[in-house]
Amino acid sequence: MAVPNQNVTPESSRRTAIAELLRGIAPVADDLGARFAAAGHELALVGGPVRDALLRRPSKDVDLTTDAPPERTLEIIRGWADAHWTIGIEFGTVGLRKDGVELEITTYRSESYDPKSRKPDVSYGTSLVEDLRRRDFAVNAMAARLPGHEFVDPFGGLTDLQRKVLRTPGRPEDSFSDDPLRMLRAARFASQLGFTVAPDVVRAMTDMASRIEIVSAERVRDELSKLISGRYPRQGLALLVETGLAAHVLPELPKLRLEIDEHHRHKDVYEHSLIVLEQAIAQEQEGPDLVLRLAALLHDIGKPKTRRFEEGGRVSFHHHEVVGAKMARKRLTALRYPKDVINDVSRLVELHLRFHGYGTGEWTDSAVRRYVRDAGPLLSRLHKLTRADCTTRNRRKADRLRRTYDDLEVRIARLAEQEELAAIRPEIDGNEIQDILGIKPGPLVGQAYKFLLDLRLDRGMIGKEAAAEELRTWAITKGLLPDNAKPAGNEPDGDEPSANKPAGNEPAGNKATGDGSDALCVG
């Protein structure tokens, strides 16, 4: 795959690229290199920052490596650095800040995993080349010595950048045995850089896929998040599925590849999900949105469990959005995602079919309010997910969906001008409920509040006095007030839906189709 705007710096210009990278942190880096040299130790800029400089990509990290043990590094920087920290010292890493620049210095090392352990064993080395040999890929195994900026590339990383390929410095089997997470990193870099993965690396990933299970869920989660947030996530995800890694870290994804026979036709759910992800990404406005991307990828994971073959060659997926929301919650919890991410992604999966009950605009204002209320702060993402979920090749159907959703957004905007849709709440609060009904705090206040919220959703703003009258009527039907307390003239108008009955044309996930399919988008 060709990657735009990532032309690799020609070999003759590599010193210029490194110099440009160091310009932002000089004279700090060169000064620090001189201090290490004076103390009899080596120091080099290494890894991602060097790779990104040669690709002319911005890099936030300043990663350095040295032959000095961590304790010796602390001696060299003490009194020179403005601040330092030792959070990663057990892995040989010392962090520091100087003149506003943050750097990390790691002792030359090699690390490997015991077959039954999740934690790496770390041993220190004395050679820069050997340190580079232990790194994940040749494109990350380049360095620039400090203070002289000598370029070090013993494993052909620059050539790999020019060819846009990912290779390991040594045998991939040895590399992945040392750290199985590197198999996920291969997919992550394919997503971020658009590079292809060398055939021998793909074979090793396939043969050793089960080894990923010894890696902690947190480390797997972080790599998956970076992969999904990359520029070419389809490429990385396809590699996970191809090698069998997905079966261990995100098994719901390969299960979307449902068999399709000649008698029962439906969309290729796996391919559809990847297209929805790409179309959701196309709508992002402020950089990668992990929640939106996860929801797009997982929105149909309930389909394999809910697929039913009907008469006439039809296939149904009843309630796949509900089943899928539970599955998404379970998987993201297992991957140790934060609760807010889990809740938001699961909610979007649950709501992704809701719009298809809208038909050609039959929803009442009450139904529109409920749509907004149920989406809450996720409304903007739900808009994007719903639009992305149309993958039909039928242009007429696609245009109809777009126009219909445009209409819904116009109605939402119009109601928002009239009402506070972003934070719909009853016109009477809890204290006022207690005063009107003469009750004390307790469950009844909550029931009354829910009644008033439904009233607000059904009829919009009707004023406090009218809301109070409706509340008293409700309380009488509940036996909370005597019949003679019922005020006159408090019945709702005949053409208004009763607050005690559901409004017509409520948004419902499968109401339009009855089979859980995306009726307007079936291609």
DSSP state string for 421-487:
GGG---SS-HHHHHHHHT--SSHHHHHHHHHHHHHHHHH----HHHHHHHHHHHHHHTTSS-GGGPP
| Close Cβ partners of 172 (under 8 Å, ≥ 6 residues apart) | 198, 200, 201, 203, 204, 205
| Close Cβ partners of 311 (under 8 Å, ≥ 6 residues apart) | none
d(CA 197, CA 167): 7
d(CA 409, CA 414): 9
Residue 148 has pLDDT above 80, yes or no: yes
Q: What dihedral angle (degrees, nearest 10) is formed by the CA atoms of 104, 106, 110, 116?
A: -60
d(CA 56, CA 94): 27
Is the domain spanning 169-250 CATH 1.20.1630.10? The answer is: no
pLDDT of residue 5: 46
pLDDT of residue 152: 94
Q: 10 or 177: whose pLDDT is higher?
A: 177
Stretch 325-342: mean pLDDT: 98
pLDDT of residue 428: 82
CB 302 within 8 A of CB 320: yes
Measure Cα distances from 79 to 97, 147, 419 in Å.
12, 20, 61
pLDDT digits (tens, 9 = 90+) for 50-75: 998 888 887 778 899 999 999 999 99
Stretch 67-90: mean pLDDT: 95
Q: 256 or 266: whose pLDDT is higher?
A: 256
d(CA 161, CA 209): 26
pLDDT of residue 131: 94
pLDDT bin (cut points 50, 70, 90) of residue 506 is very low
d(CA 33, CA 367): 66
- Give me the chain's average pLDDT, please: 84
pLDDT of residue 439: 82
Stretch 148-163: mean pLDDT: 92
Q: 397 or 256: whose pLDDT is higher?
A: 256
Range list for CATH 1.10.110.30 in the chain: 169-250
pLDDT bin (cut points 50, 70, 90) of residue 497 is very low
pLDDT bin (cut points 50, 70, 90) of residue 488 is very low
Range list for CATH 3.30.460.10 in the chain: 1-163
Residue 263 has pLDDT above 50, yes or no: no
Residue 209 has pLDDT above 70, yes or no: yes
Q: Is the dihedral of CA 498, 502, 504, 505 positive or negative?
A: positive
Residue 310 has pLDDT above 60, yes or no: yes
pLDDT of residue 8: 55
CB 349 within 8 A of CB 325: yes
Q: At what angle do helices 233-243 and 217-228 cross, to 10 degrees?
A: 130
pLDDT of residue 130: 92
pLDDT of residue 92: 92
d(CA 191, CA 230): 5
Stretch 290-317: mean pLDDT: 87
Residue 328 has pLDDT above 90, yes or no: yes
Q: Lowest mean pLDDT: which of 23-27, 274-278, 408-412, 512-516? A: 512-516
For the structural domain made of 270-352, what CATH number should be given?
1.10.472
Q: Lowest mean pLDDT: which of 18-22, 77-81, 202-206? A: 18-22
Stretch 134-145: mean pLDDT: 94
Range list for CATH 1.10.472 in the chain: 270-352
Stretch 106-120: mean pLDDT: 70
d(CA 152, CA 138): 12
Residue 380 has pLDDT above 70, yes or no: yes
Residue 214 has pLDDT above 80, yes or no: yes
pLDDT bin (cut points 50, 70, 90) of residue 468 is confident
Q: 520 or 64: whose pLDDT is higher?
A: 64
CB 241 within 8 A of CB 254: yes
Fold for the domain defined by 1-163: Beta Polymerase; domain 2 (3.30.460)
pLDDT bin (cut points 50, 70, 90) of residue 314 is confident
| DSSP secondary structure letter of residue 300 | T
For residue 143, the surrounding DSSP H or E stretch is strand 143-145
Token pair, residue 379, equals 């409304």
pLDDT of residue 238: 97
| DSSP secondary structure letter of residue 216 | -
